[in-house]
Amino acid sequence: MAEALLVIDVQNDFCPGGNLAVPEGDQVVTPINSMMDRFDTVILTQDWHPSGHSSFASSHPGRVPFDTVEMSYGQQVMWPDHCVQGSEGAAFHPQLRTDGDLIIRKGFRPEVDSYSAFFENDQTTPTGLEGYLRTRGITDLTLVGLATDFCVAFSALDARRLGFSVEVVLEACRAIDLDGSLDTQIENMRQRGVKFS
Ligand code: VGL
Ligand code: ZN
């Protein structure tokens, strides 16, 4: 059994003061930094959108943040502009340790969003993370980061679908919680065999 810590999107825009601030988002940094010592493999993800990305409300005339729009691949929440490539908001939180093995960027294709670290929101375009994990013999994943009910949950659900063992450490995650999305996604994860601690 080989395991990895997967640190999801601990970036300035998801922390207080950022463009898509998650309440208490910065409070995940200290617990995550100390967990890193316990894992041989640490992988970080970075939400990394071009300006004018199709997940931004500002790219859709008449839409405002948190509206839902029908895209070719299904429903898509409209977000405030966030994590624009190279911006301060896209940078990792300044106190986050970034001495991991791999940093995987996602959401860089203009026409499709990517919550999951494994597949874009069309649920078919791979990021390559699965291959990286399999070639390194990793079977067990521990997930932490932002946001519990979006990128953490989508990553955890895809990981289960791919056959990995998955644990989410809730103390090291924070949620957006849009219309009950936190409860919904915790229940989805539980039903698909995600463990919580
Ligand atoms: C995320 C919304 C948009 C996340 C990323 O990291 O959970 N949420 N982009
Ligand atoms: Zn995003």
Closest CA to 19 of 56, 70, 52: 56
Whether this model's pTM surpasses 0.95: yes
Alpha helices in 4-128, H assignment, sequence order: 29-36
* Predicted confidence (pLDDT) per residue in 4-14, tens digit: 999 999 999 99
Active site residue 140: no
CB of 106 closer than 8 Å to CB of 112? no
Q: How far is the CA of 152 from the centre of ligand 1 (A)?
A: 9
d(CA 82, CA 161): 28
Residue type, 138: I
- Which among 6, 9, 66 is the best mutation to test ligand 1's pocket, defined by most ligand atoms within 8 Å of the CB? 9
At how many degrees (to 10) do helices 153-161 and 181-191 cross? 20
Active site residue 195: no
Please report the ipTM that was assigned to this predicted complex: 0.99
* Predicted confidence (pLDDT) per residue in 46-99, tens digit: 999 999 999 999 999 999 999 999 999 999 999 999 999 999 999 999 999 999
